[in-house]
């Protein structure tokens, strides 16, 4: 039987307010988003259908699927000049990066989410390292937010309550859906919000890869 990622067998509410967050506040962050990724969407729908009858979980609409890569700062804590320079540095560092391909398979159950793990993830790590280096180019290494350690994932549902992980493990285990292939050709700088138990965003800029 599949196990929860941390081995606890327990879920917890994902929607607690992280430091600095509040209703209506927005953050600039670099994410990969998945418009037009039909294989990923189809696989996600298979697993979300199995999860839909389970209480305590919020499935993520396909339009809001994302891979969290690197936060920058809250929108009210950065000036336009610094933000433009960070965007330019990221674009320059990723300009020669070729498209990134990976697969996702059976989701895992984390205490706060049900998620796909990209395979392989090494290219994604390289891209995040370049984004962090670009932020350091502008602000210095000591002002790059978040840890260098990172576990790339694509959540398909979030836990909204405490309770046993067993029902979610059983729901995922009931699906035999194979895998999906994903191709990334850019990452996006977004203005991210997390009101009403859903991450939504507006695009602010993009960093295309060389294809």
Alpha helix segments (H runs only) across the chain = 38-51, 80-94, 122-139, 166-173
Tally DSSP H helices, then E strands, for the chain. 4, 12
Q: Give per-residue pLDDT as tens, 94-142.
A: 999 999 999 999 999 999 999 999 999 999 999 999 999 999 999 999 9
- Please, which pLDDT band fits residue 3 given cuts at 50, 70 and 90? very low
Q: Give per-residue pLDDT as tens, 151-173.
A: 999 999 999 999 999 999 999 99
The per-residue pLDDT of the chain, averaged, comes to 94
Q: Output DSSP code: residue 58.
A: E
Q: Is the pLDDT of residue 56 over 80?
A: yes
For the chain, give the longest Cα–Cα distance: 52
| Domains of the chain with CATH codes | 25-208 (3.90.1140.10)
Return d(Cα 58, Cα 196) in angstroms, integer: 11
Q: Is the pLDDT of residue 1 over 50?
A: no
Q: Is the pLDDT of residue 70 over 70?
A: yes
């Amino acid at each position: 039987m599949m196990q929860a990622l941390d081995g606890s067998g327990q879920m917890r509410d994902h929607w607690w307010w992280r430091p600095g967050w509040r209703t209506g506040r927005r953050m600039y962050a670099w994410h990969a988003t998945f418009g037009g990724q039909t294989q990923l969407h189809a696989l996600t729908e298979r697993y979300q259908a199995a999860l839909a009858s389970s209480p305590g979980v919020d499935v993520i609409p396909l339009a809001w699927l994302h891979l969290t890569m690197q936060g920058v700062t809250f929108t009210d804590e950065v000036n336009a000049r610094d933000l433009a320079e960070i965007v330019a540095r990221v674009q320059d560092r990723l300009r020669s990066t070729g498209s990134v391909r990976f697969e996702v398979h059976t989701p895992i159950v984390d205490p706060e989410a049900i998620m796909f793990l990209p395979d392989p993830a090494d290219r994604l790590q390289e891209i995040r390292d370049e984004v962090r280096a670009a932020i350091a180019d502008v602000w210095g290494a000591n002002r790059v937010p978040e840890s260098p350690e990172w576990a790339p994932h694509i959540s398909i549902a979030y836990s909204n309550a405490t309770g046993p992980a067993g029902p979610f493990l059983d729901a995922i285990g009931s699906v035999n859906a194979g895998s999906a292939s994903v191709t990334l050709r850019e990452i996006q700088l977004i203005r991210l919000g997390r009101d009403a138990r859903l991450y939504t965003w507006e695009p602010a800029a993009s960093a295309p890869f060389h294809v």
